[in-house]
Structures are given as structure tokens and as C-alpha cells.
Amino acid sequence: MTGLPTTDAPANQIEGTNMTTNTPHHPIAIIGAGLGGLTMAAVLHANGITAPLFELEAGRNVRTQGGMLDIHDDTGQKALQAAGLFDQFTKLVHVGGESQRVLDHHGTVLFENKEVDGFTRPEIDRGHLRDLLLDALPDGAVHWGCRVIAVRPLEEPVGRHEVTLANGQSFTTDLLVGADGAWSKVRALVSDALPAYTGISFIEGDLEEADERHPDQAVVMGPGMLFALGGGAGIIGHRETDGSLHFYLGHHAEEGWIDSVDFTDTEAGKAAALGVLDGWAPELRGLVANADAALTPRRIHALPPIHTWDRTPGVTLLGDAAHLMSPFAGEGANLAMYDGYQLAFAIAANPGDTEKAVAEYEAELFPRAQVSATDSADSLVTLFSDGAAQTLATTFDGYYRQR
Ligand SMILES: Cc1cc2nc3c(=O)[nH]c(=O)nc-3n(C[C@H](O)[C@H](O)[C@H](O)COP(=O)(O)OP(=O)(O)OC[C@H]3O[C@@H](n4cnc5c(N)ncnc54)[C@H](O)[C@@H]3O)c2cc1C
């Protein structure tokens, strides 16, 4: 699928009310206003098609969107082009943020590239990217504070679903799009698969005003991205556009390990994290020791790398709902955006025939997701194995020599 069609909106794009039940009806309804759902809505909007999003969060600013994302030229950037947002995106990227350094846990630099072309995988604040997509949508497109608690197929017409919200409201739709992330409610309509714990737990932290307040950590992080790996653990971090440092400390842990530590107690959380970094260089341990607030723990889950389902009329999935994977291939957000673009594209290209559109979309979704999910699972093993730092340094070195 390449390029975008120049069709008028399909004839069935009419919002309304079900005459017999008085329930609101939406031809297309997107559950979840994450990067995938928002991209789908933005590309549909660019093609003259309106689709409401139903999002459990109460508003766009209720939660800080932490971390940086590198947006790939073959997926995320294509989606932004299709939404007509690429030029605005280029003004938001973190210049220099693409540079990478790989260190072992003693602090020895094994790979470093300061000179990068800046547009193969430019970095952007997750929050800036989300705002870009939200601002592209018409007022009222996102229905905030709408947690979906139940979805069910209606007997007729075939493919129509009823969606129930926690606030007691409900609506029907002819195309229910599950863009509702890892713990998707919509997924159960097409698949029994559930995310499983990967065996890796993350501890996340931030250091504000790093150059002034934490110069040793600012130096060890470098201008872009840091991978410090060793002894079955790893720190993956970024310098952010506001001069802060954000890091994820990942390590092998029992599923219950996070519950054994009181991470709301800043000192207890730091002590547990520093325990993971026994024998590490002081400047790397300093990322944890000097973090500015309580650390945030997170278990990393994934769906099976091969996750497909039989075509089910009137419903489909995108993004993490379809193919949750560990973050070690850096693909999840990019794929969610690309899925959203591809589904919107297919709908615009098949006016009046969403079933054909969804079948085309899913035929390309499954193999695409499988490749990335397999890469991601392989990377998880590599990054937390003996000799991980040297392996990654050699991989990066080979990659940049070829370009
Ligand atoms: C630590 C970490 C680092 C990562 N780093 C990268 C990276 O560098 N690059 C990259 O490409 N990817 C990265 N990822 C993966 C990426 O964050 C996800 O793949 C991406 O956010 C998925 O987007 P999505 O829209 O599918 O889902 P989400 O972003 O999870 O959005 C789903 C939305 O649905 C809403 N929702 C959920 N349930 C309901 C409900 N019942 N009713 C209504 N709304 C609901 C949620 O509130 C949310 O807004 C990382 C992930 C993690 C955990």
C-alpha cells in the first residue's frame, strides 16, 4: 500500500442514533487515544473521514508522557507524512538526539557515534508527538474519561458491536478498532491471547537540569542515547530536549520482585535499584542515586511473537493491542502509528466496504508485526546476556559502516 487515495468520504460515514434503542451509533469507533489510535484518526481526518476516539484518561494533560521515541523513516515517519504532519514533526525533533553510546558496566566506552544524519531515526519527546497528533484532530474528536468496560457483537446487522462505558453510556459501531494498548478490552473479540511477563522488570527515573546539577551523569549519558550493559542488567537512557536525563534500568527479575519493594519510598526504591547495579561504575550508579523523584517500576510484558486471528466482521486491532512486544527493538510506537496509517488508508481506499479494507490491512499487519516482535524478543535475550555491551557495540559499528 503506497500513497493515499483522493476519495470523498465513504457514503456510510454518518454519525447517528439507533432508532429502536436510542443508542448513539458511529460507523467507525476507535478505542484508545494512544499514538496508534491518534494516528489512525489523523490520517482518516486528512481524508475527510471522521472517527471518534474513546479514551479512559480524563484529559490530554492528566499524565506526563515521559521518554523519547525515535521515529523510523520506514514506519512512523510514513504515517506522519500520510497525516500531513511531517513538516511540523521535523521542527520538533531533538537535534543530536540520534547519537548513541554503548558502555560496559565498568563505564568503558565501546561504541560512540556523535555524527548522525538526523533523519533516519530522529528522536522526539513522546509528549510532543502526542500533542502534534491531538492538535491535528477536530475539536471533540477524543471523548476523554470514557473507559470501555464491555464489548459485544450484536446479532444483526452482522459486524455491528455494542460498546459499554464505565460511565454507564453505550454506543454501537460498524467498525470497532481496538487501539487500547497492552491490556486491550477489544482483543478478546478476536483472540484468546494475553500478554505474558517477559522476565525483565524496569525501573525508570529522571535527573533534571543535568548539565548543572548532575554533570557526571550528563557526560556519561552523552548528547543522545546511552546503552550501559553488563551482568544481566542494563541502563538505557536518553538526554531529553529540556536538558533532563531519562533512564530505564532493566534486569532479570521474578514477576513478584517489584511488589517486594516499596517504590513509593524514594530511598527504598533507590536502594533496591542500586542493589541491581552492584559492581557498576560510580557515574552509572549515579544515574539511580541522583534521580530527582521516586523511581517508577514496570514489568515488561509481550504477546506471542506470532499473534494472528481469523477475520471477524466489524472489529480489528492495531498497535500494542495487536502485537505488544518488549521495547528492545524500538518498534512498538512506530508500528502502532504505521498500523493506524495503514488501516485508515485501507478504509479511505475502499469507500463503503470496510470489511475489504480491514481484510487488506490485516493481511499486511500479521507478517509485519511478526518480524518486529521476533526481533524484539531476540534483542531482549542479547541485551541481558553475558558480553551484551560488546555484542551491541559490534552490531552498531557494522550498521554504521554499511551506511
Ligand atoms: C519502557 C518503554 C519504552 C518504550 N520505548 C519505545 C521506543 O523507544 N520506540 C518505540 O517505537 N516504542 C517504544 N515503546 C513501545 C511503545 O510505547 C508502544 O508500543 C506504543 O505506545 C503503543 O501505542 P498504542 O497506541 O498501541 O498503545 P498505547 O500507547 O498504550 O495507547 C492505548 C490507549 O488506550 C487507552 N485505553 C486502554 N484501555 C482502555 C479502555 N478500556 N477504554 C478506553 N481507553 C483505553 C489508554 O489509556 C491509552 O491511551 C516503549 C514501551 C515501553 C514500555
Nearest Cα residue to atom 27 of ligand 1: 181
Instruction: Give this prediction's pTM.
Output: 0.94
Q: How far is residue 235's CA from residue 400's CA, in Å, rounded to a whole number?
A: 22
**Structure confidence at residue 17 (pLDDT):** 77
Task: Answer whether 122 contacts ligand 1 (Cβ < 6 A).
Answer: no
Ligand 1 geometric centre to CA of 320 (Å): 6
Residues with Cβ within 8 Å of 74's Cβ and at least 6 positions away in sequence, in order, are none
Instruction: Using the atom order of ligand 1, give the atom closest to the CA of residue 340.
Output: 25
Angle among Cα 318, 320, 322 to the nearest 5 degrees reads: 50
Q: Which residues pair with 239 in a beta bridge?
A: 245
Every domain of the chain and the residues it spans: 16-92+125-195+304-381, 197-302
**For ligand 1, mutation pick of 320, 338, 375 (most atoms within 8 Å of CB):** 320
**Dihedral (CA of 21, 26, 27, 32) sign:** negative
What does DSSP assign to residue 189?
Answer: G
- Residue 261 grid cell: 519493594
Q: How far is residue 338's CA from residue 327's CA, in Å, rounded to a whole number?
A: 16
Q: How far is residue 234's CA from residue 250's CA, in Å, rounded to a whole number?
A: 5
Ligand 1 geometric centre to CA of 334 (Å): 11
Kindly give the confidence (pLDDT) of every residue in the chain, 403 residues in length, as a single tens digit, with 9 standing for 90 and above: 333 333 333 434 457 777 667 899 999 999 999 999 999 999 999 999 999 999 999 999 888 777 899 999 999 999 999 999 999 999 999 888 889 999 999 999 999 987 666 567 899 999 999 999 999 999 999 999 999 999 999 999 999 999 999 999 999 999 999 999 999 999 999 999 999 999 999 999 999 999 999 999 999 999 999 999 998 999 999 999 899 999 999 999 999 999 999 999 999 999 999 999 999 999 999 999 999 989 999 999 999 999 999 999 999 999 999 999 999 999 999 999 999 999 999 999 999 999 999 999 999 999 999 999 999 999 999 999 999 999 999 999 988 887 7
Tell me which fold the domain 197-302 belongs to. D-Amino Acid Oxidase; Chain A, domain 2 (3.30.9)
CA dihedral 248, 253, 254, 255 (to 10 degrees): 10
The region, left, alpha or beta by phi > 0 then psi within -120 to 50, assigned to residue 358 is: alpha
**Structure confidence at residue 20 (pLDDT):** 65
Contact 366, 308 (CB under 8 A): yes
The count of other CB atoms within 10 Å of the CB of residue 36 is: 32
Angle among Cα 63, 163, 159 to the nearest 5 degrees reads: 130
**Structure confidence at residue 117 (pLDDT):** 62
Q: Which residues pair with 172 in a beta bridge?
A: 25, 162
- Residue 210 grid cell: 543535568
Instruction: Using the atom order of ligand 1, give the atom closest to the CA of residue 321.
Output: 26
**Structure confidence at residue 292 (pLDDT):** 95
Tell me which fold the domain 16-92+125-195+304-381 belongs to. FAD/NAD(P)-binding domain (3.50.50)
Task: Answer whether 340 contacts ligand 1 (Cβ < 6 A).
Answer: no
Task: Answer whether 35 contacts ligand 1 (Cβ < 6 A).
Answer: yes
pLDDT tens digits, residue range 7-36? 333 434 457 777 667 899 999 999 999 999
Task: Answer whether 297 contacts ligand 1 (Cβ < 6 A).
Answer: no
